[in-house]
Amino acid sequence: MARSRRIRRSCTGGAVFAAVALALAGCSAAPVATTPMGAAMGGARAGSSSGVRMGAPLSCEAPTDLPGSRVTVSLVDMGMSRMMGGVARVGARMLLVARPATVHSGPVSVVVENSGWRTHELVVLPLVAGAGAGQRVPGRDGTVDESGSLGEASASCAAGHGEGIVSGAVGWVTVTLAPGHYELVCNLENHYADGMRQELLVTG
């Protein structure tokens, strides 16, 4: 019975991560529940309970000596086991998980790992006082306003701007952040609406 309770906790604790664990790991592997990230990425990389590989293997790594604090962002396409191509519809399930979600002000190196099957990117946007992640309203083109962007990682296996981080690639960017609230987003068509955003808190 004790085992039953442990499994139950891992399947219900932590709203969004529980959803990932359920979707990607089938809520069956006890070890993945030790940390939210473990739940998300363990499931993504290990494959689903049906044995279908759900996450794209990474083909490169960011330099280990990037300046400042390091935030690792994992991008995941859920409900896919292979490249499907085309523009993502609104309602496609995607996930952007940044860890840690709080860093000190100053240089921050954001390392973006695309374990998804689609091409993605990562843009650092300021959040106005009182606003939360996910509150921007996409325009007709399915993207949000990037005014005030502090930088982006959109190159495959390279730093800074590019043509997008392809499936399995890693991109990175170093930005200088003052204390405040920021939103990390993927701003490819419909990806923001589909869940690719998370707040980053920068403390003094």
The residue count for binding Cu ion (CB under 5 A) is 5
DSSP state at residue 12? H
Nearest CB to Cu ion, comparing residues 117 and 182: 117
Query: Do the Cβ atoms of 152 and 160 come closer than 8 Å?
Result: yes
Window contacting Cu ion (CB under 5 A); options: 38-46, 79-87, 113-121, 171-179:
113-121
Report the C-alpha gap between 25 and 36 in whole angstroms: 12
Q: Which residue is nearest to Cu ion (CB)?
A: 186
193 belongs to the binding site for Cu ion (CB under 5 A): no
Among residues 191, 192, 197, 200, the one that binds Cu ion under rule CB under 5 A: 191
In whole angstroms, the minimum distance from the beta carbon of 116 to Cu ion comes to 7
Nearest CB to Cu ion, comparing residues 43 and 142: 142
In whole angstroms, the minimum distance from the beta carbon of 120 to Cu ion comes to 3
DSSP state at residue 60? -
Q: Which of residues 22-61 bind Cu ion (CB under 5 A)?
A: none
Among residues 78, 185, 196, 200, the one that binds Cu ion under rule CB under 5 A: 196
In whole angstroms, the minimum distance from the beta carbon of 115 to Cu ion comes to 12
197 belongs to the binding site for Cu ion (CB under 5 A): no
Nearest CB to Cu ion, comparing residues 69 and 143: 143
Query: Do the Cβ atoms of 108 and 71 come closer than 8 Å?
Result: yes
Cis peptide before 179 (omega within 30 of 0): no
Among residues 186, 192, 193, 197, the one that binds Cu ion under rule CB under 5 A: 186
> Which H or E run includes 164?
none
Residue count of the chain, please give it. Answer: 204
Among residues 69, 111, 120, 156, the one that binds Cu ion under rule CB under 5 A: 120
Q: 3-state class of 10 per DSSP?
A: helix
Report the C-alpha gap between 193 and 139 in whole angstroms: 10
Q: Which two tokens stand for residue 58?
A: 């990474």
Instruction: Spell 177-195 as b/e; 16+ CB within 10 A means b.
Output: beeebbbbbbbbebbbbbb
Among residues 41, 127, 177, 188, the one that binds Cu ion under rule CB under 5 A: 188
Q: Which residues would be at the binding site for Cu ion (CB under 5 A)?
A: 120, 186, 188, 191, 196
